Amino acid sequence: MSIPQKLEKLKKITDPEVQIAYSLLCSVGMNYTCETAGERRLIDTTGTINVAGFYNYLHAWHEYETMMYSVSQATFFPVPRKLRQGNESKYLYFVPPTKKVVYSQIPFYLSGLTDTPVIVEMIKEIRAVCEKYHEMGVDSFPHGIAFTFWEQYLHLHYNLIKAIGVIALAVFCVISVLLFNPWAASCIMFILVLMTIELAGFLGFVGIKLNPVSAVTLITAVGIGVEFTAHVVFAFLTSLGDRNDRMATAIDRVFVPVIHGALSTLLGIVMLAFSEFEFVVKYFFVVMFALIIITHKRVSPTTSVTISGRTPLRNTASWRKPKTISGATIVTTKNEGQGSRSGPCIVYHSAYPLVTIIFHHAL
């Protein structure tokens, strides 16, 4: 059948959709052949578009389905060019292929996204589809508000645990170098991890969900807790006497400064309690308030008991009769071990009530 005969056959077709379909069946790449049109399908049984005529079909969609093309909000580059059309030859001419698409963007609509777990699961499923096409040689990625905002939740737990672990390890290394005592550094690291876990449990207890804001607060807890914990440990290591005496002296030195630091920090965040935004009150004031309370709750008793109960007995000093002069205690010490030496040691202290029976009982 010659080309004129084919055109005459198309003119006899009155249904425009059939005319378009027949023209597309005959348009394959840069060729216009209808010999195998009856054997060719635009879309196979698996829902895959015919690869040989894909760019012809894309051009036809842009040309003959203008309204649906606009509604789809699809974007292609290079942009398909406009075909020349005649009054009676609109569907009769060969539909040429578009240029090879370098970039394409087609929006899709989602429903039922009511909660973060549902949205995170949706992101995982769509990314799995994109990864499948990436393995086929088609680089694709999803883009939108859901992916921009909720993408951070995909690896939030892993990144949080990793950050806390790195910070705890850094604290261990720095304290070990500064105090020359890896065992004391390990005690500090243990207390910091314990405080972080306790704060995380508090967040779940009061209904505060884990998100980037609360995750940052958990990471901040390590930095806030290490300062006062290190003070208690340093005071214990530099005190004299047996375990109980050194523990009492360490608490006596740092208890008031720790309380002052807690109160000053609370005064700094109390203004957040009067914010007009519930998010600020819930995720900043409540969390920071709990962080300060938990941190200072663990600094004095837990740190003292932990380091006192795990400190070696050797190299401790025995106390002799002390003399107190204007806020300082002059202590004469005697080293336990081979030989003996004695000498004065001035230990500054602050007087305030402290229930030390808790520590003695814990030991």
In tens digits, the chain (363 residues) has pLDDT values of: 554 555 555 556 667 777 777 778 888 888 877 777 677 788 888 888 888 888 888 888 888 787 888 888 888 888 887 765 555 544 456 788 888 888 888 888 888 888 888 999 999 999 999 999 889 888 888 888 888 888 889 899 999 999 999 999 999 999 999 888 888 888 888 888 888 998 999 999 998 988 888 999 889 888 888 877 888 888 888 888 887 888 788 888 888 888 888 888 888 889 899 998 998 999 889 988 998 888 877 665 555 556 555 554 434 444 444 444 343 444 444 444 433 333 333 333 333 233 222 233 333
- Hey, what long-range contacts does 43-52 have (CB within 8 A, 24 or more apart)? 52/28
Which two structure tokens, joined as six digits, stand for 4? 């004129």
- Check residue 346 and give its pLDDT: 35
Q: Yes or no: say if 80 and 64 are a contact pair by the CB < 8 Å rule.
A: no
- Extract the tokens encoding 248: 């009492």
Say what the pTM is. 0.63
Q: How high is the pLDDT of residue 201? A: 92
Domains of the chain: 3-105 (no CATH), 116-152 (no CATH), 155-307+354-361 (1.20.1640.10)
| Cα separation, 184 vs 174, whole angstroms | 11
Q: How far is CA 130 from the centre of its chain?
A: 22
pLDDT for the residue 351: 31
The per-residue pLDDT for 170 is 92
Residue 215 has what pLDDT?
92
Which single residue is written with the structure tokens 């972080």? 196
The kind and range of the H/E element at 328 are strand 328-335
pLDDT score, position 122: 92
Say what the pLDDT of residue 133 is: 87
The confidence score (pLDDT) of residue 301 equals 58
Whole-angstrom distance, CA of residue 80 vs CA of residue 78: 6
CA dist list (Å): 75 to 39, 49, 145, 158, 279: 32, 19, 18, 37, 38
Output the pLDDT for position 10.
Answer: 56
Structure tokens at 316: 């401790």
Which pLDDT value is given to residue 281?
92
Residue 159 pLDDT: 93
